[in-house]
Amino acid sequence: MFNKEDNLLRLKDASRAMEICNACRYCETLCPVFPQITQFRTFDEATLNYLSNLCHNCKGCYHSCQYAPPHEFNLNIPKTFSELRVDSYIKYAFPNILGKLFAKNGTVVSIIIALCIALLFIAGSYFNSADSLFTAYDGKGSFFKVIPYEVMTLVSALIFLHVIIAFIVGFRRFWTENGDKMSELTDLSLWKYAMGAVATLKHLDGGDNGHGCNHMDDRFTHSRKWYHHAVMYGFILTLISTTLAAIYHHFLGLQAPYDFDSLVVITGALGGILMVIGCVGLTYIKIKADPIPISQKLLGMDYSFIAILALVNITGLLLLVFRDGIYMPSLLCIHLGFVLAFFLIMPYSKFVHLLYRLGALLKYAKYVKNN
């Protein structure tokens, strides 16, 4: 499905599309891709990888296109770019061999999740006694009675290290592919533009008029942007929550679980709820959307990414609600299982869109600065 030959065909198709757009330019202010392509006459792989990651998949240029199917030119840029993006994820993945996981994502995700949960159960029962799994605990430090603190920390640290290394290598491969130098990243003005575009997802606004994008059909809406905000800011809140918990634990000597009115629980719960809302919304849009500009091949990967995000948060919220009962130990195992699975597959899941989109926005910031 994602082999070299298909990739070459897609590159050819994308380059043909970009040449047609360059002769047309009607979509010039829909998104950054179109002003950017006026700088090129021909489109090599590095350029197309950059452009496909710059694309926010808003589908504006599909619904605007006089050459969209059934026209014989058959331009379907959102679809072509979605597939090209995944080709590029595979190419940049570190270690390369694991890049293949992208193609099989749906199944791999469930297997890994299952494995992780099983491992946790086993670890839990091994380090303590088997009946610790169905006991009601209360009081500080109860989580660590199920899974020892050292195990939790060691496993998390290893996975975290792996994610960081894989991200740095992947980003570097993307950034330098079209000849850009790592040293250019010290230019703070590029970051200012890119972070602004990330924080507001302004490129999903459909141009200067700000009427939004064509997520479902030819109507402009902001819905996908808002659901994404819920997911992204929810994610940030949960990261804050985790960081705070680490600080409480290491520096203040406070043990989990924390009180309902503590910052850790408030940020965590709010983030979790936001992410669940966002995931439900994004799924709804996907189901309802006009199927033609969507790559059917990638739906498995898209859904499994949304699903695991949602499950991490749903299990987290359940744990919060039931943490004083006898289900706590099993819920804790399940929740941590999903969290670990999420981070394990992170460098080989759609999560990397963040990395390369950020990179593409930084590259685009360079273009804006020079023009």
Where on the chain is the footprint of ligand SF4 (CB under 6 A)? 20-21, 24-27, 30-31, 33, 55-61, 64-67, 75, 77-78, 81
> What amino acid is encoded at 274 in this protein?
L
Choosing among other proteins, ligand SF4, ligand HEM, none, which partner's interface includes residue 59 (Cβ < 5 to 8 Å by kind)?
Answer: ligand SF4
Task: Report the nearest approach of ligand SF4 to the CB of residue 207 (Å).
Answer: 9
| Contact window for ligand HEM (CB under 6 A) among 119-127, 128-136, 246-254, 351-359 | 351-359
| Contact window for ligand HEM (CB under 6 A) among 42-50, 99-107, 178-186, 300-308 | 300-308
Binding site for other proteins (CB under 8 A): 19-20, 22-30, 35, 38, 41-42, 60-61, 63-67, 69-73, 206-209, 211, 218-220
Choosing among ligand SF4, ligand HEM, other proteins, none, which partner's interface includes residue 235 (Cβ < 5 to 8 Å by kind)?
Answer: ligand HEM
Task: Report the nearest approach of other proteins to the CB of residue 27 (Å).
Answer: 6
Choosing among ligand HEM, ligand SF4, other proteins, none, which partner's interface includes residue 35 (Cβ < 5 to 8 Å by kind)?
Answer: other proteins
Choosing among ligand HEM, ligand SF4, other proteins, none, which partner's interface includes residue 331 (Cβ < 5 to 8 Å by kind)?
Answer: none
Choosing among other proteins, ligand HEM, ligand SF4, none, which partner's interface includes residue 277 (Cβ < 5 to 8 Å by kind)?
Answer: none
Which of 14, 103, 116, 231 lies at the binding interface for ligand HEM (CB under 6 A)? 231
Rounded to whole angstroms, the Cα distance separating 364 from 358 reads 10
Choosing among ligand SF4, other proteins, ligand HEM, none, which partner's interface includes residue 306 (Cβ < 5 to 8 Å by kind)?
Answer: ligand HEM
Q: Taking CB under 6 A as the rule, does residue 363 contact ligand HEM?
A: no
Choosing among ligand HEM, ligand SF4, other proteins, none, which partner's interface includes residue 31 (Cβ < 5 to 8 Å by kind)?
Answer: ligand SF4
User: Helix/strand/coil (H, E, C) string of the chain?
Assistant: CCCHHHHHHHHHHHHHHHHHHHHHCCCCCCCCHHHHHCCCCCCCHHHHHHHHHHCCCCCHHHHCCCCCCCCCCCCCHHHHHHHHHHHHHHHHCCCHHHHHHHHHHHHHHHHHHHHHHHHHHHHHHHHCCHHHHHCCCCCCCHHHHHCCHHHHHHHHHHHHHHHHHHHHHHHHHHHHHCCCCHHHHHCHHHHHHHHHHHHHCHHHCCCCCCCCECCCCCCCECHHHHHHHHHHHHHHHHHHHHHHHHHHHHHCCCCCCCCCCCHHHHHHHHHHHHHHHHHHHHHHHHHHCCCCCCCHHHHHHHHHHHHHHHHHHHHHHHHHHCCCCCCHHHHHHHHHHHHHHHHHHHHHCHHHHHHHHHHHHHHHHHHHHHC
Indicate the residue among 249 and 353 with the shorter CB distance to ligand HEM.
353
Binding site for ligand HEM (CB under 6 A): 56-57, 198, 228, 231-232, 235, 282, 286, 302, 305-306, 309, 353-354, 357-358
